Chains A and B, each alone.
Chain A
Amino acid sequence: MREITASGQTVEEAVQSALEQLDTTRDQVDISIIDEGKKGILGLFGSKPAIVKAVVLKNQIEETKAFIQEVIKNMNVDVNIKTTVIDNHVTYELNGEKIAKLIGKRGQTLNALQYLVQLVLNKDGKQYYSVTLDAEGYRGRRKETLEALAKKMAEKAVRINKKVSLEPMPAFERKIIHSALQGRNDISTYSDGVEPHRHIVIKP
Chain B
Amino acid sequence: MKALIESIVKPLVDHPEDVHVREKEEDTKVVYHLTVHQNDVGKVIGKNGRIAKAIRTVVYAAKSDSTKRIYLDIM
Contacts and interface: CB of A to CB of B under 8 A. Distances in A.
A108 B61 CA distance: 10
B29 interface: no
Contact of A109 (B4, B12, B61): B61
Contacts of B74: none
A149 B57 CA distance: 25
Contacts of A40: none
B55 interface: yes
A109 B58 CA distance: 6
A74 B3 contact: yes
Interface residues of A, number: 20
Give the most central of A74, A101, A102: most B CB within 10 Å: A74
Interface in A133-164: none
B75 interface: no
Interface in B57-71: 57-58, 61-62, 64
A70 interface: yes
A128 interface: no
A58 to B, nearest CB: 12
Given A71-B4, A75-B62, A76-B62, A112 B57 contact: yes
Contacts of A112: 53-55, 57-58, 61
Give the most central of A112, A119, A123: most B CB within 10 Å: A112
Interface of B: 3-4, 7-8, 11-12, 48, 50-51, 53-55, 57-58, 61-62, 64
